[in-house]
Amino acid sequence: MTSDDKRPSASRLYNLYLGGRHYGEVEKDFAENTVYPLIPFIVEWALLSRGFLRRAVGFCHEQGIRQFIDAGAGYPAPDGNVHEIAADARVVYLDHDPGVVAAFADLAGDDPRVRVVRGDVREPSAALARVREFLDLSQPTALLMNAVLHFLDQPGPLVREWVEALAPGSYLVISHGSVDDTPAGPDDRAELVRRYRRNSATLIPRTAEQIGEFFRGLELVPPGLVPAADWRSDVPPVLHDQRARHGMRAGVGYKRTGR
């Protein structure tokens, strides 16, 4: 639960959009009365973003990655979580919300491959110390920052600190709300940001150029920084809700050996 149970939680809202069960009446009311009337395609948008994460985890696993950090994990999704997708990997789920930690601990049970850590993405040093108790960061690791950075003010330095802790051969996976190609007009975007200020996190969508800066020093894996729905998807774009296809950019960066 967040520090203020009367305010909608961004992570619980996202779980609601994904069809999960980790939300309350305050999130349901906020979504139905505040979000859906403005962005009616937000459920499809969230599902496409989550689909990107599943594909990115699968890609990293195919490249031999056997360690994953899900930073700002949010609540367990109903359609496959990292340790369920990469079945032989060691996974750390990191989140500052004690409700998220409890939910993942309940899901993971006594699975020796999984560690659930209460930590804040905004405090890399402290969080990494906890991560290192379970993962060997001298070995290639995938750092997942899915739909989290757009809730942070000036996250660039934080991302760099996280990436610097990773070994060469590691991957950075990011999806982020984008203002470049969203079907919502400037007024609707501003209104969505204003409405999100009522919940536990401020929403800060960014341009593709700004999102691309998070990958500075890394090699972008083809097809690069693209709409989340299009990243290595075998579903033709025409079959997606065209409004939901946009507004979320995603990419995977590779930390080349020797950098």
Mean pLDDT of the chain: 89
> Which amino acid is located at 104 in the chain?
F
Secondary structure E strands in the chain? 67-71, 90-95, 114-118, 142-146, 171-177, 219-220, 226-227, 248-254
Backbone angles phi, psi at 248, to 5 degrees: -140, 115
Peptide bond into 157 cis (omega under 30): no
Q: What is the chain's alpha carbon radius of gyration, rounded to the nearest angstrom?
A: 17
Residues 133-158, mean pLDDT to the nearest whole number: 96
> Which amino acid is located at 203 in the chain?
L
Instruction: Answer whether residue 97 shows pLDDT above 80.
Output: yes
pLDDT on residue 194: 64
Highest mean pLDDT, choosing among 1-10, 93-102, 177-186: 93-102
Q: pLDDT over 70 for what percent of the chain?
A: 85
Residues 135-160, mean pLDDT to the nearest whole number: 96
pLDDT on residue 121: 96
pLDDT on residue 250: 96
pLDDT on residue 202: 76
Token readout for 215 is: 């990958």
Residues 13-41, mean pLDDT to the nearest whole number: 92
- Residues 18 and 78: beta-carbon distance below 8 Å: yes
Residues 175-184, mean pLDDT to the nearest whole number: 73
Residue 218: its H or E element: none
Backbone angles phi, psi at 25, to 5 degrees: -65, -35
Q: Which residues pair with 95 in a beta bridge?
A: 118
pLDDT band at 3 (very low <50, low <70, confident <90, very high): very low
pLDDT on residue 7: 81
Query: Which pTM does this prediction carry?
Result: 0.91
Q: Which residues contact 131 (CB under 8 A, 6 or more apart)?
A: 69, 92, 94, 117, 119, 137
For residue range 70-93, what is the model confidence (pLDDT) as tens digits?
A: 999 999 999 889 999 999 999 999
Residues 188-215, mean pLDDT to the nearest whole number: 75
pLDDT band at 167 (very low <50, low <70, confident <90, very high): very high
CA distance 85 to 79: 10
Q: Higher pLDDT residue, 144 or 233? A: 144
Per-residue b/e over 196-231, b at no fewer than 16 CB within 10 Å?
beebbbebbbbebebbbebbeebeebeeebbbbbbb
- Please report how many Cα atoms fall inside a 13 Å half-sphere around the Cα of residue 152, on the Cβ side: 20
CA distance 174 to 220: 11
Nearest to residue 200, comparing CAs of 83, 105, 75, 76?
Answer: 75
The dihedral of CA 9, 80, 94, 229: what is its sign? Answer: negative
